[in-house]
Structure 1
Amino acid sequence: MKIKRHTRIFAGLLSLLLSLSLAACASNTETTNADSKFKYGRIDIPGKDGALCGAPIYIAYDKGFFAEEGFDVNLISADAETRKIGLNNGTIPIVNGDFQFFPSIEEGVNVKVVDGLHNGCIKFIVKKGSSIRTAADLKGKKIAVDEIGGTPHQVASVWVEKAGISAKPEDKEVEFLVFSDGNLEIEALKKGDVDVAALWDPLGSIYTTGDNAKDYEVLFDLSTDPTFAGKYCCFLYASDKVIRDNPEKVAALLYAYQKAQDWIAKNPKEAVDIISDKKYSAIEDKALAEELLKSYVYPSAEDRAANRQDVGKDVEYFATELYNIGYLKTDPAQFAKDAYYKVDLKLGK
């Protein structure tokens, strides 16, 4: 009886193990089949911050441009430090960002500028009828920013320095006050605690259009000011590790982004509809969002063919401006040479 009982137990265990093994094989087969749809497999791309200027990410994801180039993209939330760590170790292959990233490159973050993303997305606003009309009028004034060293702060510093005003705190020619939220900047401006609010879009545009136009007006627009107009303010940054280990992967990613940029340039209204309806970004005024997308001048295929903007020259230009105000220590030409990597797009075909 004991032998028969043990035999039955053994047979049951054998059957169970066989079932689990078959299930595992089936699961592995399903995973392999799923992965085989994408040449480069699953990757993480930061794309959940809701910024309108991140439109190419949303469109490349939604229109299937990432998938067409062989990527199963997972959009993630990631702060600046998470992005830097991911780029350093290659777990995040690519991010979009402005020239605020330049000091990080100088400090040793292993990342390269690989393409331009768009022009302008920052505005400085003042109270309606303010006596402040130019950068020269900012001497002795207070400017609200989101962080010291952040892009609005750097842009404002470059702007006033070009007007002959020192942006260095020790010179006390202009004062920067930090607020954790753009709406708090507006409140400070309203109360008279600051003279200027340096804001990311869409807030800068929201507070200077419609009913708000009676209270506030634009002093500076990054997309049209002569110091910055016609230049990429935001770039695509790729992991140096991924560039070295898998350059064709980076080339394929750029193809997906460039398809999205071209599509946005030619279909701004439809792009806003997708971004709004799919909740990629919180948009209340679609007409305003459409105008903003147009102002960012996402490069079309024709723009690229005509070489209307030069990524390497724009990197050197902003490196020079940041060098002049003390935010970079490296010679700008050398910095641009080291920081910009021209991807051979033929590798992605």
Structure 2
Amino acid sequence: MNFKHLIKTTLISALLFGASAFAEIKTVRIAHYTGVLCSAPVHTAWLKGFFDEEFKKIGQKYEMVPIAEGSGSVNDLIVAGKADAGNELLATELQPIQNGLPIIFVTGVHTGCTKFYVTKQSTIKKLKDLKGRKSKIGVIGLSDSSIMTFKRKLRDLGVVADGPEADVEFVVYGASDLPLALQKGAVDIIALHDPTATTAEEEYGFRKLLDTATDPKFAVEYCCIAFVSLKLWKENPEGAAAFTRAVARGSAFVNANPREAARLQLAKDIVPGSEDFNTKLLESYTHIPSRKATIRTFRTVATELQKTGVLKKKLNIEKFITSHFANFASKGIHVPDGYKYDKDTGTFTETTEEPKTLAKNIVEN
């Protein structure tokens, strides 16, 4: 091939395939928490090769971006332009989104991993006992999802959570300090996320006041959700779809085989704990991915947080959902509602309908 022919071939390629003929292969940066059991669907999608498969199908690559527990957040990386996708507690994200956080939800990954405790000696037996008590609630941060969850529950019970007449006061401690604060009486209740929550329960013998995995209000909705940056959604929706399908498959895998998921995380030294302990926790949540159930959860949580004052009164909830939930069909991209995994055959089946329920075990508080 002479030089003139080479130039001619190159120009023809450019005309046929456009600038993409010279473009670099796109890479989607996936942020994931280390030390956090809740990221099991993302970790499983990575370690079982689901990300490999989905990104290979579309001719793209991905990169895992670790976040050590307590060292930052997916939101920080999204804003800094250092990550394109990740997962978080849904209730934590809504106020930041309202204030301009550039993300869009793609699918729910699992139900409740947040728990609230009192000491065994506490006179607080039920949540309704908080009315008129001026109780102190220990939390890891004033923007943490535990506060949003508690405010929603207290509102149902007629307990005032805000303002000068509030029946409760939220006090911030480090996650590792909360159990001792409760034990010493500095606070009346603590809110923790697993695995720290269950570890503290077993070590100190705390009594569970509210468990979002079994409470009738919260067991039917997602607590953790996967999302992508608005930039990725606008510029690379195929990459966003590949991430979504892989994470949904990861979630379905965990639901069918929690022990193997626990083994994978431990083998990679991503989370602490033991196989039995971590398996028990993963089994206690429902890992059934469903985009329809995600929209339902989004609507319920946003509507109730608006009523508590966390979200602005003037916010149009339906427009809020439309703007911040990925509609892949509008871009001609196939993403199923969810998946089921058969561990005997090692195969996935796409699902099209919302599951009848996300709850595994309802316990009245």
The TM-score by the shorter chain falls in which range? 0.7 to 0.9
Match of 1:170 in 2: 164
Match of 1:347 in 2: 333
Distance apart, 1:68 and its partner CA: 1.2
Distance 2:124 2:276 in 1: 29
SS of corresponding position for 1:310: helix
Match of 1:47 in 2: 32
Distance apart, 1:346 and its partner CA: 6.6
Alignment of structure 1 residues 8-27 onto 2, 5 Å: none
Query: Which of 268, 274, 282 is the matching residue for 1:293?
Result: 282
Distance apart, 1:174 and its partner CA: 0.9
| Alignment partner of 1:131 is 2:120 | no
Describe the shift of the 1:130–1:233 C-alpha distance in structure 2 as closer, same or farther (beyond 3 A). same
Distance 2:257 2:277 in 1: 15
Q: Where do 5+ consecutive residues of structure 1 fail to align? A: 1-38
Query: Which of 175, 194, 197 is the matching residue for 2:187?
Result: 194
CA offsets 1:99-158 (integer angstroms, 9 cap, x no match): 211111111222111111111010001111432122211232111001112111221222
The amino acid across from 1:44 in the alignment is: R
SS of corresponding position for 1:313: helix
The amino acid across from 1:101 in the alignment is: E
Query: Which of 111, 114, 117 is the matching residue for 2:106?
Result: 114
Match of 2:363 in 1: none
Query: Which of 301, 308, 311 is the matching residue for 1:328?
Result: 311
Indicate conservation of the 8 Å contact 2:138/2:171, yes or no. Answer: yes
Indicate conservation of the 8 Å contact 2:67/2:73, yes or no. Answer: no
Indicate conservation of the 8 Å contact 2:114/2:193, yes or no. Answer: yes
Distance apart, 1:281 and its partner CA: 0.5
Distance apart, 1:172 and its partner CA: 3.4
Q: Percent identity?
A: 29
- Number of aligned residues: 300
Match of 1:315 in 2: 298
Query: Which of 144, 157, 161 is the matching residue for 2:155?
Result: 161
Describe the shift of the 1:129–1:343 C-alpha distance in structure 2 as closer, same or farther (beyond 3 A). farther
Larger Rg: 1
Over aligned residue pairs, what C-alpha RMSD do you find? Answer: 2.4
The amino acid across from 1:314 in the alignment is: T
Distance 2:215 2:71 in 1: 27
TM-score, normalised via structure 1 length: 0.79
The amino acid across from 1:122 in the alignment is: T
Distance apart, 1:80 and its partner CA: 9.1
SS of corresponding position for 2:164: helix
Match of 2:173 in 1: 179
Match of 1:146 in 2: 140
The amino acid across from 1:165 in the alignment is: V
TM-score, normalised via structure 2 length: 0.76
Indicate conservation of the 8 Å contact 1:83/1:92, yes or no. Answer: yes
Describe the shift of the 1:318–1:243 C-alpha distance in structure 2 as closer, same or farther (beyond 3 A). same
Distance apart, 1:348 and its partner CA: 6.0
SS of corresponding position for 1:322: helix
